[in-house]
Chains A and B, each alone.
Chain A
Amino acid sequence: MKKRENNSEEITRTGGTMDMKRRSFVKLLGGGIFIFFQPWSALEILSLPAEQARSLTKDYNAFLQIAEDGTVSCFTGKIEMGQGIITSLAQEMAEELNVPFEKVKMVMGDTDLCPYDAGTWGSMTTRGFGPNMRAAAAEARAVLLDLASAQLGVPVTQLEVKDGEITDTKNPQNKVTYAALAKGKKLEKYLDVKPLPEDYSKFTYVGKPYKRVDSRLKVTGQAIYTGDRKLPGMLHARLLRPPSHGAKLASVDVSGAEKVEGVKVIRDGDFIAVVSENREKADEAIVKIKADYTFNEMKVNDKTLFDWILKAESRSNVARTKGDIEAGSQLCDKTFESEYHDPYLAHAPIETHTALAVLEGDRLTVWASTQSPFGLQDGIVRETGFPREKVRVITPFVGGGFGGKGAYQQGVEAAKLAKLTGKPVMVTWTRDEEFFYDTFHPAGVIKINSGIDKSGIIQMWDYHVWMSGTRGSDTIYDVPNAKTTSYSENTKVSPVHPFGTGPWRAPNNNANTFARESQIDIMASAAGIDPLEFRLKNLKDDKMIDCLKAVAEKFGYVADKAPSGRGIGIACGIDAGTWVANMAEIKVDKATGKVQVVRIACAQDMGLCVNPEGALIQMEGCLTMGLGYTLTEEVQFEGGDVNTRGFDTYEIPRFSWLPKIDCVILDRKGKAPQGGGEPAIIAVGAAVGNAIYDATGARLYRMPFTPERVLEALKKVRET
C-alpha cells in the first residue's frame, strides 16, 4: 500500500487530465479523508467494449471520502435505474467500514466525481465493482485504524471499530470517531487494491434484507430524473426525424416551423431541430417542417425476417465443441431437428431517452438518462469536438434502462444543440422516437439437431445460432458430443438489421434458453420421461440440479410425462454467474389462443445474496417483464420503418397478466456474489412454451406466443 499525506491541493503523482480531475475533485468536496484506488477487476476489463478500452487508465481514481461529519461518500460510475444498487452498494460499504448504513451516501454516474466505468449493464455491479469496492473499503478501514492508533496512543491490535467509532479495548473511554479523525484534514491515501478472499459469514449489513433507500423520494414525486431539471432560459428541442431508418434527407422547407411563435429552427446540415422555451410550441413547429427523403431500405419485414437472417452472408464461429457430432449421431436412437425464431424487441422504459445540456464558458455539462455516462462523454467528444476534460456528464435517477440506455444518442443531440444555441437545451424523446431509435434486441434464428439413446441420455447436440449471440448458449447438460456454432452479422457484405440493435435484459439469453429448453422438452417427451427427471438424468451440474429440485419443491411439482394436459412447464439456464430454474403453470383458451400464466416459480443460485429484499424484487421484476417477450412483444417493421411505435401496438405486461409468483434464493453465503438484475428473466419463455405443450400437445417454435400462433399450433396438432 502506498500512503501519502498531503495537506495541500497540489498533487503530483500523475500528470495529465486525471491529475486535474482529482484536484477539482478535492476542491469540490472540501475536507476529510479521501481514498483513491484502482477500480479494475479482471471481470470488468473483459466486459469492456473495445472502443472504451481507452479509459483503462492505470491511474488511481477517487473512490471514497470520509467527511468531517462522519458521512462516507462512495463514488461510483454505476447508475441507479431501478435495479437497487443504490441500496446494496451502500450495504457493502457500511459492512466493510463498520459505519451505520444511514451514514453511507452513494454518489453515482458523475464523470467529474466518479471513477471511470464503462456502463451499468451485464449484471456487473455486484460481481465486478462490488468486490473492489469492499476490498478498498477494508483498506480504508485499516488507514483509519492507523490514524486512530497514533491519536489514541495504543497499537492497532488493541482497537475495535463499531458504528464509525474506534475504541481502545483496554480503556473504552479512550475512543475516537471517523468524523473526528477526518476533521480539519485533507488527507489522501492511495491503495493498490485487490479483492480479498473474504469471510462472508461475519457480515452485519450484507446478506440482510434492506428496503430501497430511494423510495421516499420516488413516492412523493421529489426524485429528480433528467427531465425534471430546469435551468434559466432552457429551451426544449424537437428534432426532425426521417420516416424510416436508412432514409436520407433530399430537401427541406422549414418556413412553416419558423412561423410558430417563440420557435427557432436550428440547422447544421441534416441535423435539424426546432427549439422553444415552450415544449408544446416545439411540438407544434416540428410537424410543420416539410421534408422529402430518398429511400434505400432493406427489403425485409417482420414476416420475411427469419429467411432473411438465414440467407445473409454471415461470419461463423465455433463457440465451443466437445467430442464428435457424427460419432454422437451413431449412438442415438432418436434424433430431432428444430428451428426456433426470436423477433426484435424494444426496451420500452417508461422514461424515454432524455438529456439536458448546458454550455458555461468552455465547459459543457450534460444530464442524461443513460446507463453509460462515460460512454456518453466519449460520444460527445467524438461528435462535437469538445475536449474530454471539458465535458461533464451527470446521471440523475434513470427511469428504467434494461440495456436500451447504454445507447446515448439523445445526449449527443442535446450537446450539439447547446453548442449551436448557446442556451441550455432539453431533449426528451417522444414515445414514437423511443420506439424508433431504440437499439432493439436483435432477432435471431436457432437450429438444433440433437439425439438421445435408448435410455434417454443425450448423446449428441449440434447447436447453431444466427444473430442472437452466444450468451446463454451453453449446452449445460452433460452431452459427450456437442458443438455450438454462432453466425453473426457481416455488416460489410450483408447487413442484416435494418435498424440499431443492442443488449436487452440478459442479452440473447432469453432466445438461447428458449431454444435449448424447448429442445430438451421435445426429447423428454419423445423418450416418455417426465421433463424434470429427464433434465436431472442428463445434468451433472450440481448447481443446476439444486435449482431444479428447489423450484420443484416450491412449486409442489408432481412428476408426469408431457403432454399431461396440466399445463406445467420447466426450464433452466445460467446468466451472469447465476443459476436459474423456472416452473410455470398456464391456461390456454383453445377458442381464442390466449395464454394466461397462472403461476410461476423460480429458484436462483446467485452466490452470496447481498440484499435478499433487493434480489427478490429483481427476480419478480424479471419474471413479470419476461411475460412480455414470451406472450406479446415483437417489433413489427417494413424495411427501415418501425410500425410498433406506441404502447397500443407494442404491448408490454399489465396487471391482469400477473401470475402468482414464488421465488427461492438458495443460501450460498460462502460464495462470491453474482448477477441479480437479469438472470431470472431467461427461462420464462421456455417454461411457458413447454407449459403450452404440456397443456395441449402443441409445440411453439417462435416467440412471442401470440393467440394467432397458438391457434395455428393447435390446428397442426388436430391435423396430425
Chain B
Amino acid sequence: MRPIESFEVPAPPRVNYINAQYGLKSWLLTKDHKRIALLYLGSITFFFFIGGLYALMIRLELLTPQGDLLQSTTYNKVFTQHGIIMIFFFLIPSIPATLGNFLIPMMIGAKDLAFPRINLLSWYIYLLGGVITIYALLAGGVDTGWTFYTPFSTTFSNSYVVATGLGIFINGFSSILTGLNFIVTIHTMRAPGMTWFRMPLFLWSHYATSLIMILGTPVVAITILLLAFERVARVGIFDPALGGDPVLFQHLFWFYSHPAVYIMVLPSMGVISELIANFSRKNIFGYSFVAFSSLAIAVFGFLVWGHHLFVTSQSVYAGMIFSFLSFAVAIPSAIKVFNWTATLYRSSISYDTPMLYALGFIGLFTVGGMTGLFLASLATDVHLSDTYFVVAHFHYIMVGGALMGYLGGLHYWWPKIAGRMYPEGWGRFSALIIFVGFNLTFLPQFIAGYLGMPRRYHAYPPEFQVFNVLSTAGASILGFGMLIPAIYFVWSMRYGKHAESNPWHLPGLEWRTQSPPPTENFEVTPIVTWEAYEFAPREETEVVGKFRPELERI
C-alpha cells in the first residue's frame, strides 16, 4: 500500500493571500475569494454572538414559569431577533459564504470565482442588510417572530417591521449573488480533467444549495417587499381588512423558508462528506447516490412548504399531498446517512476534532431528521405544530446539523485558511462539551412539546418547568463550549503551530498548494487525473455484492 505523501512544503512561508498585501484598503477592496471568505467569517461570527446573546436571554427567561425576568414585549422581541439574526445573518451565509467561498475555486482548480467583483459586492450587500437590521434592533426591535405572519406584521405590530424587512430583503440579494457565482463557477471554471463526477461532494452540495438560493430567495424578497408596502401604504393583498388573504403570505413565505432549511443543512452535508471520507481515508460509499441525493433534496425541498400549514384550514387533500412529499424528501437524507455510515466500513478512522464533529453530526442529524417525520405525518403534526417539539426538531437540524458541519469544516480547513494549526486537545474537548450541551438543551424540549408546551410563550404552566430548567442548564454548557473554539481560533492565528501544505495527508486539490495558498491559489493550473477521495490506486477498488476474493485483505 502506498502512503499518501504530503506535498513537499517550502520551508519558509512564501507570499500567500494573507501577506500579499497589507492595509485596510487591501482587504476592503479585495477581489480575492479567500479574503472575502475571511471578511464573511468575521461578520457572521459577530452576528452569531449577537444571536447567541439573545438565545441566552431566552433560556434565562424560561428558567421560571412566571415570566419574571423580561417583560413579555421584550421577550417577544428577543426571540424574534434571535431567529432573524441566526437564520438570515448566520446560518444561511455560514458555510457557503465562508468555507464555500474559500474552497470552491480551490477544489476545482480555479484562480477565483467567476465573478470576483460580484463576490465582493455580495459581502457589502450582506453588510448593508446587517447594518439596517442592527439599526432596527437598536431603534426598538421587532416583535413579529421571524416568520412575519400577516396580519400581525402588517397591521397590529408596533415595532420596526419595515426596517427589519428591508434588512432581510437586501441581505437576500447577497445570497442570490453568492448562489449565482457558485453555479457559474462550477459550470465554467473547472480545471482540465475535473469532471463532474470527480468533484468532491462538497461541490455537489454547494451546487444544490445555490440552486435553492437562486430559486427561493427572490420569492421571499418580493413577499417581504409586498408586506412592507402593505404596512406603509395600506395597499394590500395579505390583510383581510383590505380584502386580502393572510394565508397567501404563509404560502409565499414558506415557499422560500422551507427550502431555506436546506440552504442551511446541504452545505453542512457537503462538509460531512469531506470529513467522513478524508478522516477515514476512504472514498465515499455510493458517491453518485450522495451527489444526486443533494439535488433531489433541492428539488423536493421546493414541494413541501405546505406542511407548515396543516392546521391553517388548508384543504385536507392539499395536506395529504404535502405530507406525502414531505415523507419523500426524507429519503435522500436517509440515503446520505446510510452511505456515510457504510463509508466507515473497513476504513481507517482517526479521532481528530473534525471527525468528532462529523460523527456528532450524523447522530444529531439522524435525530433531527427522524423527528421531522413526526411533523410530516398529518395527525401528529396537528398536535405538535407550534409546540416546543418543533423548536427542538429544527434546532437539531440547524444547530445539530448546520452548526456542527460548520464547526467541523472550520477545524478541518483551518490549517489551509490560517496557515496555523488549532490546538487539537482543546478542539476535541470542546467538541465533546458542545455535543453534550446541545443534547441536554434540546432533548427535553421534545418531551415538553409533546406534552403541549406552545412555542413563543414568555410564561408557561409550572408543570413544564423541569424541562426548561434542563434546557437552560444545557444551553449554558453549550454556550461555554462555543466560547472555547472562539478563543483558540483567535489564539492560533498568532501562536498556533505552522501548518504544512497538507497536514492531514489528503489527496484533495485544495491540499496540493501551500498553506495559506497564494493569491492565485495554484502556481500553475492543475490537471486532474484522479477521482475524488482517491487514496489508493483504482484497480484495487472492491465492489460490494460482486465480491472479489483476490482483493480480500489477508
Judge: A and B partners, yes or no.
no
